[in-house]
Amino acid sequence: MKKYILILLSLLVYTCSDDDPAGPVDGCMDIAACNYDASATIDSLDSCTFPADDDTNCDGTCGGVNNAVVDCAGTCAGSLTLDQCGVCDGDDTSCEDCAGVPNGTSVDDCAGTCGGSAVEDCAGTCEGSAVEDCAGTCEGSAVEDCAGTCDGDAVVGGCDNACGSTAVNDCAGTCGGSAVEDCAGTCEGSAVEDCAGTCGGDAVVGGCDNACGSTAVEDCAGTCGGLATIDDCGDCWSPYCYDPVTHIPDYTVTEATCLTPNVWIGSGGNPSDPTWNASMDCTGTCGGTAVSDCAGTCEGSAVEDCAGTCEGTAVEDCAGTCGGDAVVGGCDNTCGSTAVEDCAGVCGGDAVVGGCDNACGSTAVEDCAGVCGGDADVGGCDNVCGSTAVNDDCGVCGGDNSSCAGCDGVANSGLVDDDCGVCGGDGSSCVSLDCSALPTDVNGIWIDDSGVVYYNFLDAVAGFQFTVVGTTVSGTAGGAAEDAGFTVSAGSATVLGFSFTGATVSAGSGTLTTLTLSGTPTGLSGVVMSDSLAGNITAEQTSDICD
């Protein structure tokens, strides 16, 4: 109690004192506390917090005033340690060698002796003698050759008895030496063969053809060793093959390929050669323009006529025929023409007056209607001028297919009305369906005029639906549907039946249900039947009324 009174008095002193402008500071003043406040002047009641125990720090980690540490098992201040094998709280056996020494190096040899020296040879035999050859094959025969190559073929040889050597003595007797005999057989002599192969010879490569011993030079045509030469007019003359028929020189062949009857002209200087001094005119002037006439007179005036006769009188006619008699004539003023104008005024034309209209170039004829140039023809199935009549499908010329049409209006259909007045019908449409003799070979549903619904199911039916034609439905009752536990509902003219439990109406026939109707039905439509797998097993979606 005294403690609390002293605290209260100190609060009053600090609160009322004018000497302490900062005022009192509340806080934990226990230096051993986790939240010790060195600036506190008032020790707050129960405000100090301490570690959980002497092994724990304020932040919950291992340590505390005891300086505790975590052992190998992760326990703060625990006593477990690692053994020599590094196993927490182990007994040093997990890393013993064969001699029982933890982390020891002793192992059993191939003979089972701990720390023994016995080893297996390459064949796997303990203390065996098999060894690998140089190729790594156990008990193989491969050995290294003199060059250190495993299974190699190098051998000691040559005049120097060295591994792989092929050295021989040179002409001076030096092993592996470089001394050689010259072409005269003298060791280290200086004699050499010339380009002609003569030892000590002086033949050298020369000429424009770079041949051994050659002195060939290019002729004036630039051919090395060629026969072309400069004529008296300073022009380069070249050999040629002369054709005695065409008199045309051929400079593209050689003497060897100039074949008889052609003649090879291989040298110049022949005054009778027309290609020698070709630029010299008939007066002997190089580059002159004087020529001989057809009579051989230099600069004469004689000329050949069109027949090739020197000073002849033959001339070409207008057709270009030498000595011909063709002259320009006809309406077209053409050489040799005899053309005249036709009736259309066309020169050389072939138009003539003709046709039923007697006109130039006309081919007009009267048509079947007597019109000149008309286009009327006898036609149609009635062979009448201008007719386009054809046979109808009944074979009547110009007919409308009505003579052989059936009750459907189609020609040759063969259809007629049955006893029920149905075109092409089989008379069954006006025959009533007997409710007691309904089909048994299909999945079907039918109704009579009183609302009784009949069925024939070839398979078990899990659900059905149909629409009553001609009236509406207000209720359902009884029948095989009710016996099977089906829920049968009616809305307007639609009836739906199924089971919430998965029950089915078994295959068979009879009364499916009885409907309460507002009028007289005429049949059913939208008929759907499904099996227990929800498969549609409907045969016909409509049915007539039965009675």
Q: Are 290 and 282 in contact (CB under 8 A)?
A: yes
Residue 419 banded pLDDT, cuts 50, 70, 90? low
pLDDT computed for residue 464 by the predictor = 96
Task: Please tell me the distance from the alpha carbon of residue 317 to that of residue 159, in angstroms, as a whole number.
Answer: 104
Q: What is the per-residue pLDDT for 43?
A: 82
CA angle 92, 93, 98 (to 5 degrees): 125
Which pLDDT score is estimated for 66?
87
Residue-level pLDDT at 88:
94
Per-residue model confidence as pLDDT tens digits over 232-284: 899 999 999 999 889 899 999 898 999 999 999 988 888 878 899 888 888 88
Neighbours of 160 (CB within 10 A): 13
pLDDT tier, 428 (very low <50, low <70, confident <90, very high otherwise): low
Q: In this structure, what token pair is assigned to residue 309?
A: 């006769």
Residue corresponding to tokens 């540490």: 69
Q: Diameter of the chain by CA atoms?
A: 178
The pLDDT of 486-507, averaged and rounded, is 94
- Residue located via tokens 């300086």: 67
Number of residues that make up the chain: 547
Q: How far is CA 223 from the centre of its chain?
A: 60
- Read off φ and ψ for residue 26, nearest 5 degrees: -80, 145
**Token pair for 522:** 């005429």
pLDDT at 426 over 80: no
How many helices and strands, by DSSP H and E, does the chain display? 2, 26
pLDDT given for residue 82 in this prediction: 92
Q: Rounded to whole angstroms, how far apart are CA atoms 374 and 365?
A: 8
What pLDDT was estimated at residue 249?
A: 93
Q: What is the mean pLDDT of the chain?
A: 88
pLDDT number for residue 478: 96
| 49-69 core/surface letters (b: 16 or more CB in 10 A; e: else) | eebeeebbeeeeebbbeeebe
Lowest mean pLDDT among 368-372, 426-430, 530-534: 426-430
The dihedral sign for the CA sequence 518, 519, 521, 525: negative
pLDDT at 5: 33
Residue 401 has pLDDT above 90, yes or no: no
pLDDT at 178 over 80: yes
* Window from 210-224, 412-426, 528-542 with minimum mean pLDDT: 412-426
How much is the average pLDDT of 13-38? 70
Over range 108-126, report the average pLDDT: 90
How much is the average pLDDT of 60-87?
Answer: 91
pLDDT band, very low/low/confident/very high, at 427 (cuts 50, 70, 90): low
Q: For the residues 94-121, what does the mean pLDDT come to?
A: 90
What is the DSSP pairing of strand 26-27 with strand 42-43? parallel
Q: Are 343 and 353 in contact (CB under 8 A)?
A: yes
Which residues, 6 or more positions from 29, have their beta carbon under 8 angstroms from its beta carbon?
36, 37, 40, 42, 43, 48
pLDDT, tens only, 376-389: 888 889 888 988 89
Given the structure tokens 């109808």, which residue do they identify? 392
State how far the Cα of 145 lies from the Cα of 148, in Å rounded to an integer.
5
Residue 458 has pLDDT above 80, yes or no: yes
Task: Write down the pLDDT at residue 399.
Answer: 87
Rounded Cα distance between 225 and 209, Å, is 8
What pLDDT shows up at residue 44?
76
DSSP state at residue 482: H
Highest averaged pLDDT of the listed ranges 44-48, 268-272, 307-311, 463-467: 463-467
Domains of the chain: 228-275 (no CATH), 435-546 (2.60.40)
Instruction: Give the DSSP H/E element, type plus range, for residue 15.
Output: helix 2-16
Kind plus residue range of the DSSP H or E element containing 446: strand 444-448
Average pLDDT over residues 70-96: 91
13 pLDDT above the threshold of 50: no
For residue 281, what pLDDT is reported? 84
Say what the pLDDT of residue 15 is: 40
The pLDDT tens digits of the residues spanning 181-239 come to 989 889 988 889 989 999 988 899 998 989 998 988 998 988 898 889 998 899 999 99
Query: Quick one: pLDDT at residue 441?
Result: 94
> pLDDT at position 386, please?
84
